[in-house]
Structure 1
Amino acid sequence: MTDLPPGATPPEAQPRLNSFYFTAWRWHFYAGLYVVPFLLMLAVTGALMVWFTAIDSEYGDRIAIAPAAQALGVGAQIAAAEAAHPGSRADKYISPRDDRTPAIVRVEDGETARMLAVDPYSGAVVSDRPEAGTWNDWLTNLHGELLWGGNGGPGDTLVEIAASLAVMMLASGLYLAWPRQGKGWRAVLVPDLAARGRSFWKSLHVTTGVWVALFLAFFLLTGMSWTGVWGGRIVQPWSSFPAAKWDAVPLSDATHAAMNHTAQEEVPWVLELVQLPASGSQAGVQLLPPGTPVTFETVMAGARALGFDARVQVSAPADATGVWTLSRDSQSYDSPTPTSDRTVHLDQYTGKVLADVRFADYPLMGKMMAVGIALHEGQLGWWSVALNLLICAGLVLSCVAGVVLWWKRRPVAAGRLAAPPRGPQARLWTGGLVVAVLVGLAFPLGGAAILAVLALDALLLRHVPALKRVLS
């Protein structure tokens, strides 16, 4: 008997291995045709979004302010913002991050909402711009919805399909990269910079892909939490905070999602689908002394009494049954610590606490998403910003290397895609239905896309040889 080198495959197992290997390669290739343009878009827009939110805030809340001995009251700061736009009404106040940064006041000026950065010591407006239409707002819309149809619309659906198929592409890619035929892990984890031609691009594609893969899987799953089907209809509904836990509190018809004013999600994911409490009853726990006017000034004082420190957001009631809302969460860049997330609702007439939701109250999936989204968006400090940018760069490099590898592998002037060859006894349908079922169980739109490809092959490509050749 001939001794096999370490890691080599016995001859009797090679036909089966080759068949599965080539089938995985073909699925990896065909998925990549659709997924790679989306991954490049997501990586570039994601990196830019991290810049505009974590480094160069567009509303001016990181502008340097010279501290003075005494800050103006919250009411005076809001009056200064409203005076900049006569006839406007403030409906949100965001306290400064520290004693060297401005407060942010959101005002409704006719049909336009504006965000004003106000010097808390002098009342001077140091930045004034519309809330919508920022670069980050545009990038967020492109990143998640392709600027097409909003959440649940056509763009959102296309992105969700891409993310679903990307998970399958990652799994097949890791299988293809697994060391075999005597190769060790060094060839997988360390790029061969001395290689030339296709060998160099293959090494670069494999190594960057492997290093990025686990992070990318995490990013895909957390990003899909806002998609229309997997997120909005499956994961988010059964992961939301149960409003029934609020004892004897009247609920309104509006949900927390109504507090999101732009494409940027400000309300914690776990609360978006939860009904807001309603004002106008005697329910709740007394916070402000009876008879105290419920205003921005007194509500902010109540927030400090409840233990809110540093940056806290105070939102005014939206209507006659609305509530005052105090919030501090990492998703809105209020804090780099998701475990300190807290949302409190006050009755607008009595100032009583109707609901007080903390991180500890979230269900398990809600806790995981609170931390996951903060990491996804680079909200946990400079290290998470650097990690996000590094992952985005690695993803772009792996995608580009994969495209170059394909370009160099394809026959010159072949007039076809030059897909990976079929393995022994391999057919598109071999394992195709199994893959569709597995992906479909986890990600419905991804499974539907695979079934559509299989149907296209059965009903059209098999009967049009010229088209089948172009796509082979």
Structure 2
Amino acid sequence: MSPSNIPSHPPLHGLADTPANNPLNKSPAPLHTTAKPNINKPAKGDGKNNKKYATIWRWHFYAGMFIAPFLLILSLSALGMLFMANTVGPNNELLTVSKQDTITPVSVQAHSALSAVPDGTLKQYIAPKSDHNVALFRVGSETGQTMVAVDPYSAKVIKIAPSDSNLYHTFDNIHSDLLIGKVGDYLLETAASLTTLLVLTGWYLWWYRRKSIKAMLIPDAKLNNKRSTFVTIHATLGTWLSVLLLLFCVSGMAWAGIWGGKVVQAWSQFPAGKWGNGPMPASTLPPTHGEALNSSGIKEVPWILELTPMPTSGSTLGEKGIDPSLPITLDTVDRFARDSGFEGRYQLNLPQGETGVWTLSQDSMSYDTPSPMADRTMHIDRYSGKVLADIRFEDYNAFGKFMAAGNAIHMGTLGLWSLMANVLFCLSVITICISGYVMWWQRRPSKLNTAATQKSGLNPPPSKGDIPWGLAIILLIVSVIFPTAIIAIVAIAVLDFVIIGRVPVLKRLLK
């Protein structure tokens, strides 16, 4: 039979017998193949879950775009405050002097301070922080208040500066109200309130991808692109810091004008009735601790006492205090303070007005002591020398203790470890904010001249339906607890569901 008469057979399994399809020419397939995880995309799920993820991601994006600039400002100003507080002190109290055998009486030091400020009136004495540091005197005059640093051994004036003019207070003012007063205070309070929303939505987004708390806390070792690296840095670092970030926000907001001053502080103040002040008409109330003792608006009085009315001199109230046989002078009050347990740095505020009192205080918020549990404030009748009040940490209510401890953590006053932890925390928050912006930038189209870029705008996560009930509950809780957050949340909701689709410019930016 000739070759031409040999019948042709169909190829096996219907495959053309070509080199490409010949099994003998193929490499054996690997037994196991593992695709690299892509943490830029959420884990696959049903359409309902993906819509929920996209909506929560979009709200996380909105909150982050608003909050991140403020978190950067707060972190940078906090680093400035930490540096100044531990190098020169808020009022130059870390200036050094040579230790001598004898300390001059406080009244002699005060005389030197008053001589440096013409027509001045002594307001406050702050004892040296150590044997090698200066004493401070706050002197008031028609031109304002002046801080005078004095050598406690020679009574020589070391430095004169306007009160609260140190660079520390510039950072503090930025940290408190952005240097724009109440508007800045409200903006920062709103940002801190929305941080709660940012943290809760961030937890959900990262858990949805990682599926376990352990995985959320460990960076992914298999990163397939640059954006994946920033995602894992942003999310893992954010998970580690989230609880501490919430603590810092709550302790900071407790000083804010609305949630702090109008809500929690008003209901948590120390009761003035404990030192015999009964109910009084508002017109006759003595000044509060904050009004009488805070200088130039700087927060120095313990949080729980700030709104509490001061006790008054001239009554029969009080307990045993300064020996009645001694005159009540700056020196005898200082000696009584030392005998009563005020060691190292403490503050002595002189009576102001006919019913004013001597006030001795030592607290961590003013950098007097490292531990908030050593907080103590004592008031002395200017006429009888009796102790009208002696308030210690154990006398605070539960929220007052939380705030005292929270402020010590917030300000890094608990020792070197606390200082270093605060520095690391601030740097980490800066890293989270920057990585968030980098992630957003990398998600945008890469070619700037494409039509996609012109339509992308800010390129937020996609909008895929209504707000999930879980997110709605979170929004409701945040709005109820933090009043300033209501305006921001309502504004975002109206923007997202009503305005964007009707305004062409916003549609290009945010759709």
User: Normalization by structure 1: what TM-score?
Assistant: 0.91
Q: Is the 8 A contact 2:90 2:169 kept in 1?
A: no
Distance verdict in 2 for CA 1:257–1:92, change over 3 Å: same
1:320 Cα shift?
A: 1.3
Give a deviation string over 1:378-404, Cα, whole Å, max 9, x none: 111111111111000000011101101
1:194 Cα shift?
A: 6.6
- Which residue number in structure 2 is paired with residue 69 of structure 1? 101
2:251 paired residue among 222, 242, 254 = 222
Is there any run of 5+ residues in structure 1 with no aligned partner, and where? 1-10
The structure whose Rg is larger is 2
Distance verdict in 2 for CA 1:198–1:119, change over 3 Å: same
Q: Which whole-Å CA distance do the structure 2 matches of 1:182 and 1:427 have between them?
A: 24
Q: Is the 8 A contact 1:336 1:381 kept in 2?
A: yes
One-letter code aligned to 1:217: L
Q: CA RMSD in A?
A: 2.4
- Once the two structures are superposed, the pairs formed by residues 347-366 of structure 1 within 5 Å of their partners are 347-366=381-400
- Is the aligned partner of 1:87 residue 2:119? yes
- Once the two structures are superposed, the pairs formed by residues 85-164 of structure 1 within 5 Å of their partners are 85-149=117-181, 153-164=182-193
- Is the aligned partner of 1:335 residue 2:369? yes
- Which residue number in structure 2 is paired with residue 253 of structure 1? 286
- Which residue number in structure 2 is paired with residue 378 of structure 1? 412
The SS at the match of 1:277 is coil
The SS at the match of 1:344 is strand
Q: Is the 8 A contact 2:207 2:216 kept in 1?
A: no
Q: Is the 8 A contact 2:91 2:164 kept in 1?
A: no
Return 15-24 or 428-437, whichever deviates more: 428-437
- Is the aligned partner of 1:420 residue 2:420? no
Q: Is the 8 A contact 1:59 1:127 kept in 2?
A: no
- Is the aligned partner of 1:203 residue 2:232? yes
Distance verdict in 2 for CA 1:351–1:193, change over 3 Å: farther
- Once the two structures are superposed, the pairs formed by residues 163-182 of structure 1 within 5 Å of their partners are 163-178=192-207, 180=209
Give a deviation string over 1:20-39, Cα, whole Å, max 9, x none: 22221111001111101001
- Is the aligned partner of 1:22 residue 2:63? no
Q: Which whole-Å CA distance do the structure 1 matches of 2:162 and 2:222 have between them?
A: 49
1:159 Cα shift?
A: 0.8
Q: Which whole-Å CA distance do the structure 2 matches of 1:182 and 1:73 have between them?
A: 67
Distance verdict in 2 for CA 1:183–1:335, change over 3 Å: closer
- Which residue number in structure 2 is paired with residue 55 of structure 1? 87
- Which residue number in structure 1 is paired with residue 500 of structure 2? 461
Q: Which whole-Å CA distance do the structure 2 matches of 1:182 and 1:42 have between them?
A: 32
2:485 paired residue among 446, 451, 458 = 446
Q: Is the 8 A contact 2:376 2:393 kept in 1?
A: yes
One-letter code aligned to 2:266: P
Q: Which whole-Å CA distance do the structure 1 matches of 2:229 and 2:296 have between them?
A: 44
The SS at the match of 1:254 is coil
Q: Which whole-Å CA distance do the structure 2 matches of 1:183 and 1:25 have between them?
A: 19
Distance verdict in 2 for CA 1:37–1:181, change over 3 Å: closer
1:362 Cα shift?
A: 0.3
The SS at the match of 1:128 is strand
1:448 Cα shift?
A: 2.5
User: Normalization by structure 2: what TM-score?
Assistant: 0.85
1:55 Cα shift?
A: 3.1
One-letter code aligned to 2:154: S
Q: Is the 8 A contact 1:461 1:468 kept in 2?
A: yes
Is there any run of 5+ residues in structure 2 with no aligned partner, and where? 1-42
- Is the aligned partner of 1:316 residue 2:350? yes
Distance verdict in 2 for CA 1:383–1:432, change over 3 Å: closer
Return 426-435 or 314-323, whichever deviates more: 426-435
Distance verdict in 2 for CA 1:160–1:193, change over 3 Å: farther
Return 153-162 or 241-250, whichever deviates more: 241-250
Distance verdict in 2 for CA 1:429–1:469, change over 3 Å: farther
Q: Is the 8 A contact 2:92 2:166 kept in 1?
A: no
One-letter code aligned to 1:46: A
Q: Is the 8 A contact 1:189 1:210 kept in 2?
A: no
Aligned residues: 459
The SS at the match of 2:390 is strand
Distance verdict in 2 for CA 1:68–1:193, change over 3 Å: farther
- Once the two structures are superposed, the pairs formed by residues 384-395 of structure 1 within 5 Å of their partners are 384-395=418-429
1:52 Cα shift?
A: 1.2
- Once the two structures are superposed, the pairs formed by residues 267-278 of structure 1 within 5 Å of their partners are 267-278=301-312
Between the aligned residues of both structures, percent identity stands at 39
1:88 Cα shift?
A: 1.6
- Which residue number in structure 2 is paired with residue 6 of structure 1? none
Q: Is the 8 A contact 1:341 1:358 kept in 2?
A: yes
Return 297-306 or 182-191, whichever deviates more: 182-191
Q: Which whole-Å CA distance do the structure 1 matches of 2:130 and 2:311 have between them?
A: 31
1:250 Cα shift?
A: 9.5
Distance verdict in 2 for CA 1:24–1:456, change over 3 Å: closer
Distance verdict in 2 for CA 1:146–1:307, change over 3 Å: same
1:427 Cα shift?
A: 3.0
Q: Which whole-Å CA distance do the structure 1 matches of 2:417 and 2:367 have between them?
A: 15
1:327 Cα shift?
A: 0.2
One-letter code aligned to 2:352: A
1:461 Cα shift?
A: 2.4
Q: Which whole-Å CA distance do the structure 2 matches of 1:134 and 1:156 have between them?
A: 21
Q: Which whole-Å CA distance do the structure 1 matches of 2:214 and 2:78 have between them?
A: 30
One-letter code aligned to 1:270: I
